[in-house]
Structure 1
């Protein structure tokens, strides 16, 4: 069971993503924004699924650095991206990402990508 932090400002979508991942045997926590996500550094997530928003792009590198400093290992990120967000303003964030999905996405595809990134990164538990 891996620990996954879901960051999405849409509470309902965040809960839906968490349910999909919990059915796959993962433990999840949900944060509605990056500030709240920062409070989960001691949770030591094995992976972060974050809705990519243009307003969050500048804050993402610092968030990733915080998680990695506390965990003392890389923390993989998967972005969920709304079609309207696929612009140059978010292009720099893609240097931080291990995988991404365009919304709307199939729950099975999300689960498969999460498992793939966890295996590839070596952060999968049990």
Structure 2
């Protein structure tokens, strides 16, 4: 049974999300504020945080930042908010969110996307050898990445995206294929999610950014 923390100040929405997730076998707790969410995370690490952005004591992105920079945690974050502009989505992904759903939402879609996130978090792959491509070094077992000997901290989604591109080295992967392989779903209209994550990944890879090529109108390819 997975423990999911719901950070939402609107009681009706929080209860709907909780009921939806509990029907699918998850344990939930609700935090109506950022302060309460941090308190609960310190008490018990959740396997997923469902996060609203507009909270009484601040912007939900602050909690996203807190989670991402908290030592030794790789908690996936799903943003669930009424803020649906493209710039809001980009900011959410820039702060390390793994997924983004706009209110009003479909409980069925929410359940499916939570399932997809938890599946890829729990997915255990057999041990793999370290990957060395020029100044880029990747250890698939420890999820550690180095560029020119310096550690690069990636979210789990960014790491899976990088590994997926490398495994298909030289081949073009469409946005739809990447959504299926990395995110575990192919909902219409979410191809921009891939673009945002690729942009963020390139920024973190610095001098190795050009290894990920854009194939205009199709998708992306890791240089062969």
For normalisation by structure 1, the TM-score amounts to 0.81
Where structure 1 has 5 or more consecutive residues not aligned to the other structure, the ranges are none
Report the number of matched residues.
Answer: 118
Where structure 2 has 5 or more consecutive residues not aligned to the other structure, the ranges are 124-224
In structure 2, what is the equivalent of residue 6 of structure 1?
A: 6
8 Å Cα contact 1:53-1:90 kept in structure 2: no
Q: CA deviation at 1:12?
A: 1.5
Structure 1 residues 102 and 47, CA gap change in structure 2 (3 angstroms): same
Give, in whole Å, the separation in 2 of the partners of 1:32 and 1:78. 16
Q: CA deviation at 1:77?
A: 0.5
Q: Secondary structure at the match of 1:40?
A: helix
Relative contact order, CA 8 A, sep 6+: which one is greater? Answer: 1
Query: Is the aligned partner of 1:61 residue 2:65?
Result: yes
Q: Secondary structure at the match of 1:113?
A: helix
Query: Map of 1:26-41 to 2, 5 A cutoff?
Result: 26-41=26-41
Query: Is the aligned partner of 1:43 residue 2:44?
Result: yes
Q: Secondary structure at the match of 2:108?
A: helix
RMSD of aligned C-alpha atoms?
Answer: 2.2
8 Å Cα contact 1:82-1:102 kept in structure 2: yes
Q: Larger radius of gyration, structure 1 or 2?
A: 2
8 Å Cα contact 1:50-1:79 kept in structure 2: yes
Give, in whole Å, the separation in 2 of the partners of 1:115 and 1:59. 22
Q: CA deviation at 1:24?
A: 0.4
Decide which structure has greater helix share: 1
